[in-house]
Amino acid sequence: MQLAFALFTPMLLCWLPILSPRRLGRNGSAWMAGAVTLASLGFLLAATGGAFPESPLIVPIPWVPQLGLSLSLRLDGLSLMFCGLVLGIGLLVILYARYYMVHEAQRDRFFAFLLLFMGAMLGLVASENLLGLVVFWELTSVSSFLLVGFNSQRPEARRGARRALGVTGLGGLALLGGVLLLGRVTGSFALSEVLASGPLVQADARYPAVLGLILLGVFTKSAQVPFHFWLPGAMSAPTPASAYLHSATMVKAGVFLLARLWPTLAGTEVWFVVVTGFGLATMLFAAVVALFQDDIKGLLAYSTISHLGLITALFGLNTETGVVAGLFHVLNHATFKASLFMAAGIIDHETGTRDLTRLGGLARTMKSTALLATVASAAMAGIPLLNGFLSKEMFFKEAVDVGTQSAQPWLIPTVATLAGAFSVAYSVRFVWDVFFRHDTGRLERNPHPPPPWMQVPVGLLVALCILVGIAPGLVAEELLVAVSHSVLGARTPDIHLHLWHGLNLPLAMSLLAVGVGVGLFRQRPSLANALGDRRLLPPGAQLYASTMGAIVRLARRITRGLHDHSLGRYLIALVGSAAILGLLPFLGPLQGDDDLVPITTRPRLALVAFSCLLVFGAVGTVLFHRRRLLAMIALGLSGLGSTLIFVELSAPDLALTQLSVEFATTVLILLALAHLPAHGPSISSKARRIRDGLIAGALGLGVTGLMGVVLTRPFDTIADYYLATSREYGGGTNVVNVILVDFRGFDTLGEITVLGIAAIAIAGMLYAIQIPKPATSADGRAWSKDQHPFLLRVMSRPLLPLLLLVAVYLMLRGHNLPGGGFIGGLVASVALILQFMASGLRFASPRLPFNFLATAAVGLAIALATGVVAMVLGVPFLTSAFSHVHLGPFDFELASALAFDLGVFLTVLAVLLITLSRLGHVGETDEESGGP
Amino acid sequence: MEWMLAASVGVVASCGVYLLLRRRSMSVVFGLALLSYATNLVLFSMGRLTVGAPPILGPEGESAVYADPLPQALVLTAIVIGFAMTAFVVVVALIAHRSLGDDDVDAPVAQEGEP
């Protein structure tokens, strides 16, 4: 439980910084974000007891067991190390961002996004379920999109964010495919089982597909060539976000997955070739490109890509010691790269630029920053006595051990040394160009030392680099053993971290790399000439841009073709395709019983009469549609016909509903007609009218055909179940109502939610809108002075309590007799609207001092609460309960569904009143909202 | 009887679609209302036509014939949502009329400049 708290706290509380109380002062949101992170860390410590767990701690949290999807958590060495990185560096980034972000409102939002991302990252590294892992994986993509595009007013930020989301999202899709396939092969999505079935997976014919898809996800996330181009683009993120996402967390998600699935997927020749191949290519390519970046963050971004390549290559080598080295480098890279990004942010903050060609000589004014950044860069370059040196030595050793056994024994060690040399070169360039070059003439403002607290996180991280670098056995060995054990299990090699391994080949490679690196730095201009434009060539980026452009163009063409700003034209597309799809089945032989079996042959006079009313009303509406008042009356007749058909065909509930809705619709159209022209001369050409008539006729024929054919065929229904169990399970005899509030209560909840949304939309559109009512009607007649007829006024008032009583009665009896929340709510709203109609807004509004939007919310909340209460009682959502109640002379059945129905009642009532009263308010000026 | 009702509903649906394709916003509203009548009746009739047997259970233990309650429940909510939708369209029509100055739902083709 503590574990669940630890891992879900940041995501659940990510809104806190935005709502942080103002009296906490300027640092409120930073305190909140820090407190949430600390709480998460505290829970994590409490859950583990401060030590690495011997065996994985697993907390099962079911979600959709039918799909094998769960939110189960797994805490072992690997996930604990990543949790520590995410939370620890997160805490430092929060402190740093407090001083980096200047605007307070901006800061609140930034911390909220940061916590959201932190939560997604924690979920990702601590998922026990592979599908759950994919869910969190996607969440990191989405939340990092928010962070990268944080300065959304800048186009390059938006572009960078879109590109990052596009590439990692595509990779996420591939990963989902790979995971689904992997689940098929192993028969489970639980990591414990997947990790134990390595041989099974590797023997399966689907292994290459699984591997390919999962690696696609890994390579896009960890920015391997050719998918790396999104990472430099994502440098448009605020620097604290870069320090967090692009050094320690987001981009490490890919290599995390390599480590996580190493026992299942690694060990084959194809794994070695693909993973090591991509890793080495990325490492070398990015290191070369990094040397020629003029933007500090660009340099660091390519350096990150290069180091990710190194880690990927280590996992690809198929050796246990390679895994250990990879995990070690994950830690080391996170510490020195986060501190370097922060230093870059400080430089940007104090000088206003990140351009290496304009910076210089900052060592004089920013002494402490210069010192810290130099040490961190040395760690990045792999200089002894720093942590980067240790893992790089281990990498060189692996490169020699594995490389010399492969077909080209010189290939891997050479690539490794060359990349190491470039790594030294760009580290030197960073430090030299920023701090030591004697040239500061091109700065816009005079640099001054940063606020001390801004340097504290950098200092802490650099101290860690030195500590690990000097005394690795003391500081890092135990941790690395525990983490490696969680990946490798019994295959864990003996791990001894020493600073000095004697004079050996890796040390020679390191020395060579340093020497060559310094040389490369000095020969930079001639090297740039030799490479020409190729050093800037971003493979992948172009392809991505042209593909996206083509997709957008295609989408635009389709949209323009379908939607050309004419409702009529695209309704024709819609109606026409409906007609065609509906008519297609009639072309072939009809399915089912070919003998048409009429069910009721005896003509019923009443049904014929009501149908005639329905049809005459509809035809009348068409004939009079240019004289709207007449059309409205005809429409009402048609509605009445429909109501009577419901009465005749055993649907009392429907008849009651339709009748009250008719009333409300009439009021609605009357209100609209006050503003819209009451007459509309035809503006369609004759040809168009004929075409529309043909389409309408075809559709009508289709409807008739469909309905007739279905009605004259044998019938099989699931209704018998409802009829048989309504009394027993639902405690009611009105089966329609029991279905609404009980059997299909979830549907009803959704439907009243839709009603609420419609009401909010209507209220929103009409908010503060004044539409002047025309002085006369369209044909020049003045409005009647007698707006609220005396007789109606007098009659309506005594009717109100009676109608409300009827409404409540209809609702209460609804479970057993025709009625219910919908009908009760409609009748009650009709009763209240009648008061508006009869006496005017001036009279009615002050007497109904309710905020109807709040009423709708209360109604929804009540309906939802009945469902939640059921869940709290341990039965599924919205399960109802009922019992007999004896109260003196009364003896009745009371169902919890009644509370649900009350929610429906309130929502329906509020929605109708919002709609009609807001519409009534539009155009109402003071002198004309009369009344007594 | 079935075919008679089917034909009536078909006529109502035709009227609704015809009005839906008009260019004045109020006609579209009328058309939408008619089309919902027709749709609701089609949906309702999928439970077949039953006379004099509303789905209100009689005394316990008594077996009787009842109309199909399921389509009725579906149609009931459809009617109420239909109202909300009509109201929404009416408000959109009002606002369009206010900001565009007329109640034509088609943008002039020439103004668009696109085929």
For A269, the 3-state DSSP assignment is helix
- What are the DSSP calls for A589-648, one per residue? PPSS-SS---S--S--HHHHHHHHHHHHHHHHHHHTTTBHHHHHHHHHHHHHHHHHHHHH
pLDDT tens digit string along B58-109?
Answer: 877 666 788 889 999 999 999 999 999 999 999 988 888 888 777 777 765 4
Instruction: Tell me whether residues B11 and A615 touch, CB distance under 8 A.
Output: yes
Cβ-based contacts of B92 with chain A (< 8 Å): 765
pLDDT higher for A260 or A366?
A260
User: Please, are residues A855 and A832 in contact by the beta-carbon 8 Å criterion?
Assistant: no
For A58, the 3-state DSSP assignment is strand
- φ, ψ of residue A325 to 5 degrees: the values are -65, -40
Phi-psi region of A597 (alpha: psi -120 to 50; beta: other; left: phi over 0): beta
Average the pLDDT over A140-168 and give the result: 91
pLDDT higher for A471 or A925?
A471
pLDDT over 90 (residue B9) = yes
From CA A615, how far away is CA A621, in angstroms rounded?
10
pLDDT tens digit string along A408-458?
Answer: 888 899 999 999 999 999 999 999 988 888 766 667 677 778 888 889 999
Instruction: Tell me whether residues A711 and B2 touch, CB distance under 8 A.
Output: yes
pLDDT over 90 for what percent of chain B?
Answer: 43
Q: What is the pLDDT of residue B114?
A: 38
Residues facing A103 on adjacent strands: none
pLDDT higher for A786 or A494?
A494
Point out the residue among B30, B73, B90 whose CB comes nearest to the CB of A625: B30
Q: What is the pLDDT of residue A926?
A: 43
From CA A805, how far away is CA A812, in angstroms rounded?
10
Question: What are the C-alpha distances in Å from B11 to residues A369, A703, A811, B39?
Answer: 82, 9, 35, 12
Q: Is the peptide bond before A226 cis (omega within 30 degrees of 0)?
A: yes
Among the listed ranges A335-349, A762-776, B61-75, which one has the minimum average pLDDT value? A762-776
pLDDT over 60 (residue A911) = yes
Report how far Cα A484 is from the mean position of its chain's Cα atoms. Answer: 34
Residues facing A608 on adjacent strands: none
For chain A, how far is it from start to end, CA to CA, in angstroms?
65
The mean pLDDT of chain A is 86
Point out the residue among A598, A676, A740 whose CB comes nearest to the CB of B76: A740
Residues 6+ apart with CB under 8 A from B78: B36, B39, B40, B43
Give pTM, 2 decimals.
0.73
pLDDT tens digit string along A473-516?
Answer: 888 888 899 999 999 988 888 888 887 777 788 889 999 999 99
SS3 content of chain A, % helix, strand, coil (to 5): 70, 5, 25
Distance (Å) from the C-alpha of residue A795 to the closest C-alpha of chain B?
27
Instruction: Tell me whether residues A676 and B75 touch, CB distance under 8 A.
Output: no
Question: What are the C-alpha distances in Å from A210 to residues A184, A202, A206, A215, A223?
Answer: 10, 10, 6, 8, 20
Here the tokens at position A561 are 């073709």
Q: What is the pLDDT of residue B112?
A: 39
Residues facing A259 on adjacent strands: none
Name the closest residue on chain B to residue A917, using Cα atoms: B87
Distance (Å) from the C-alpha of residue B66 to the closest C-alpha of chain A?
8
* Residue type present at position A694: L
B89/A contact by beta carbon, under 8 A: no
Average the pLDDT over A24-35 and give the result: 81
pLDDT tens digit string along A75-99?
Answer: 999 999 999 999 999 999 999 998 8
Q: What is the pLDDT of residue B63?
A: 66
pLDDT over 50 (residue B111) = no
pLDDT tens digit string along A876-894?
Answer: 777 777 766 666 666 566 6
User: Quick one: CA dihedral A308, A313, A315, A316, positive or negative?
Assistant: positive
> Where is A74: in which H helix or E strand?
strand A73-75
Here the tokens at position A758 are 């419609």
Query: pLDDT band for position A781 (50/70/90)?
Result: low
